[in-house]
Amino acid sequence: ENYTAITQKCWDYFVHLMGNVSASELCEWKVISRPYSELQDCLETSADRLSYGYPNALADQYILQSHHRYFHNCTLEHSVYLDPPEDVLLAMIIAPICLIPFLVTLVIWRSKDSKAQ
């Protein structure tokens, strides 16, 4: 019950901080990082103080609630970079590995050729 009351105070403080953020700034990380970090830190430190595991269901509920209430209209302006498909990734890894013995052979062959001259 103590943790429930404390997390509610964390949430109330977060709502207070977010009240100072205009609607046009809701998706700007520079503006919302402080209130968001304060909420997360408050939830985590209060859980640690009470020897309650973190993350936990109640903390997750408040984090999700913050996203649904304030950040649901935020979209990514930058394209998200994904890992390449496995076959492409494998080729990118194996190609340099296979190239190394060839280059070593070429260097040895050229160094022997220059010694003969």
Class of domain 3-71: mainly alpha
Query: In whole angstroms, what is the distance from residue 86 CA to residue 55 CA?
Result: 32
Query: In whole angstroms, what is the distance from residue 108 CA to residue 112 CA?
Result: 6
Buried/exposed code over 90-104 (b: 16+ C-beta within 10 A; e: otherwise):
eeeeeeeeeeeeeee
Model-level pTM? 0.62
Q: What does the domain layout of the chain look like in residue ranges?
A: 3-71, 83-116
CB 59 within 8 A of CB 47: yes
| 25: DSSP letter | G
pLDDT tens digits along 32-47 = 999 999 999 999 999 9
pLDDT tens digits along 45-98 = 999 999 989 989 999 999 999 999 998 888 766 666 788 899 999 999 999 999
pLDDT for residue 79:
61
pLDDT for residue 112:
81
Query: In whole angstroms, what is the distance from residue 21 CA to residue 70 CA?
Result: 10
pLDDT for residue 78:
61
List strand residue ranges (DSSP E) for 8-65, in order.
Answer: none
